[in-house]
Homo-oligomer: A and B are copies of this chain.
Amino acid sequence: MTILDSETKATEHSDDHGDELRLWLRLLTCTTLIEGEVRSRLRERFDVTLPRFDLMAQLDKAPDGMTLSDVSKRMMVSNGNITGLVERLVQSGHVDRRTSEVDRRVQVIRLTKSGRAEFRKMAAEHEIWIAEMFSDLGEKDVRELMRLLGKTKLSVRKAADSGG
């Protein structure tokens, strides 16, 4: 993987990138399956969408509130997206939004009392659903998967920073 042997590799070791591609597709399949299942259960059980749940999850971890930029970074979605998402959650009374007094560009949002209560109920069930979906994996599997995905995360970030 150093610069030196990358040339060597390119010639002698041919371009066998199929394994990584298959790995990526499998990773994507797992995520899609879980996400779809969570989405459908959230809808049936609580009549809430996944993005709203995710946003509330971020806010639940931040009792002092977050700025829209914070949320956007944490959720890894675009700024413009958050504006509309928050607007709907404000309308439904789950989220409180106010302009910062220190910097009038900034909107600080936080869960309302009822929003937090409702989220906690959903989160409790959600956690059980997830555990259920991973229940065929032993503790060791979970640890190992966690480790390998951690490594993957770093690897992807490195490639994204250098190449994009």
Contact = CB atoms under 8 A, between A and B. Distances in A.
Number of copies: 2
Contacts of A154: 136
Contacts of A135: 1, 155, 159
A61 B19 CA distance: 17
A27 B27 contact: yes
Nearest to A34: B156
Contact of A31 (B22, B28, B137, B160): B28
Contacts of A137: 148, 151-152, 155
A113 interface: no
A17 interface: yes
Contacts of A129: 159, 163
A146 interface: yes
A139 to B, nearest CB: 8
Given A145-B152, A160-B133, A34 B24 contact: yes
Contact of A20 (B130, B157, B158, B163): B130
A26 B141 contact: no
9 contacts: A19-B139, A20-B134, A22-B146, A26-B146, A27-B27, A33-B157, A36-B76, A37-B164, A145-B145
Listed from nearest, the 9 A-B pairs whose CB atoms lie closest are A136-B155, A17-B131, A31-B31, A133-B159, A20-B134, A20-B131, A133-B156, A26-B149, A132-B159
